[in-house]
Amino acid sequence: MCDTIVALGNATADGSVILAKNSDREPNEAHLVVRFPCARHAPGEEVQCTYIRIPQVEETYEILLCKPFWIWGCEMGANEKGVVIGNEAVFTKEPYAKTGLLGMDLMRLALERAATAEEALHVITELLARYGQGGACGYQHKGLRYHNSFLIADPSSAWVLETAGKFWAAERVRDVRAISNRLTIGHSFDLASPGLVEHAIEKGWCKSRQDFHFARCYSDWFYTHFSRSKERWERSSQWLQEHKGKITLEGMMALLRDHGPKAPQASFQPAKSSMASICMHAGNELTRASQSVGALVAHLKGEQRTYWVTATSATCTSIFKPVYLNGLPLPEHGPSPKGTYNPQALWWRHELLHRATLADYPSRHALYRQERDALEATFRAEAEALEQALPQMEPTARAEAQSALSQRCFSRAKEALEEWLGRVQATPPRRRPPWLYRWYWRKQSRQARLPLEGLF
């Protein structure tokens, strides 16, 4: 379960476009942040996606992906042209295909091939019509299947694209927009697949074109309801409306850490939270199996584009760090994490801090939260100062300066992580969470071969 939010230039304080997303997956489903350079491909070449192969295009763009380690595609990402996309699982009345392109595959293909948000929309819908969407979407929960919605942005525009099987509707964003694990497009939309309304009438989901409502006609009520997406979508939509015209990068980061209107940061208890929280915390196998395993905030200011990633799980315990698409490698942050603990991988190293924090979240989170916020504020200030200096630099010097800043931020964040981990592990829990919650996290940690010392 996930949430994606966007604000266009007429809604932000600095005139930029800002897109933000939490990726909610299984707790041990490690999240990669990876870059692929632009490339040219030979005629007749194919590309292997998660489950199927399709023809490759002649040229693909440089891309940044935030992705589950086992999936070819991504949960959110960007390309060198400034196109950024986040996807959501949606549950519909249309049948789920046994194989095809995952929504995450469709997103990566669009990033590789599209130079604008609208072009990315058409890439996705054309691939959807040709190959369909389908296949198992879960890491350990192989029975999980869903369709997809997408929030697609570039430095001047954004689109919402929502699908049900091969059917779809799209809406141009006017100022702010949020999507979650539900269809949100209703009576009006700007683009749609052929036969969208006629299919709904034929199925008996509505009586006429005048009666047609995309979300009402195509949604599966049961899974949509129990995803708790209504609360998350309303929360993020309300926040966007309340802050319209003054939305900032810092504000979007804070929204991704939001635990709801009744959850003050100082007293928040993940053990008592639910899937209605934008910053999601897993707690059991049935009703709370998803965890925010990675986050991205894209700051698109014309030709200056900064991508803020956590590269770690639990957004409320993580640090956003800047990365850039400039032809150079991403900062060193250890080997690509997989489904079991690797102390050299940043994602898994941070899991020690995250899971130790869960043993007494109010007390242990307070040990480093203010320092985290201050360090992150320093990163934002340094990135803004660099943005102001970039126009006077030559392209090569510009790329090198961006990469140097990014590497410094990752290095300082790593040093802070180690200090905070030692501090948390040395502080005895004052009040442990309920037994069943501790049992769930001990089980997850054993499955991942994570050291249990200092956790629960």
Question: Is 263's pLDDT higher than 70?
Answer: no
- pTM, full prediction: 0.96
| Structure confidence at residue 166 (pLDDT) | 97
> How far, in Å, CA of 147 to CA of 149, rounded?
7
Q: What residues contact residue 159 under an 8 Å CB cut-off, 6+ apart?
A: 117, 118, 121, 150, 151, 152, 153, 170, 171, 172, 173
Instruction: Tell me which DSSP letter residue 59 carries.
Output: E
Record the tokens describing residue 219, joined without a space. 């949604």
pLDDT of residue 135: 95
DSSP annotation of 80: T
**Whether the Cβ atoms of residue 179 and residue 151 lie closer than 8 Å to each other:** yes
Provide the pLDDT for residue 265: 65
Q: Could you count the other beta carbons within 10 Å of the beta carbon of residue 308?
A: 25
DSSP assignments along 124-188, one per residue = HHHHHHHH-BBS---SS-TT---EEEEEEEETTEEEEEEEETTEEEEEE-SSEEEEBSB----S-
Rounded CA gap, 214 and 388, in Å?
44
pLDDT in tens, 24-60: 999 999 999 999 999 999 999 999 999 999 999 999 9
Q: Are 120 and 86 in contact (CB under 8 A)?
A: no
Catalytic residue among 2, 66, 74, 279: 2
SS percent in the chain: helix, strand, coil, step 5: 35, 25, 40
* Residue range 105-127, pLDDT digits in tens: 999 999 999 999 999 999 999 99
Active site residue 49: no
Q: How confident is the model at residue 452 (pLDDT cuts 50, 70, 90)?
A: confident
- The secondary structure of residue 272, as a DSSP letter, is G
Structural domains of the chain ordered from first start: 3-341 (3.60.60.10)
Distance between CA atoms of residues 136 and 220, nearest Å: 18
| Lowest-confidence segment of 12-26, 93-107, 131-145 by average pLDDT | 131-145
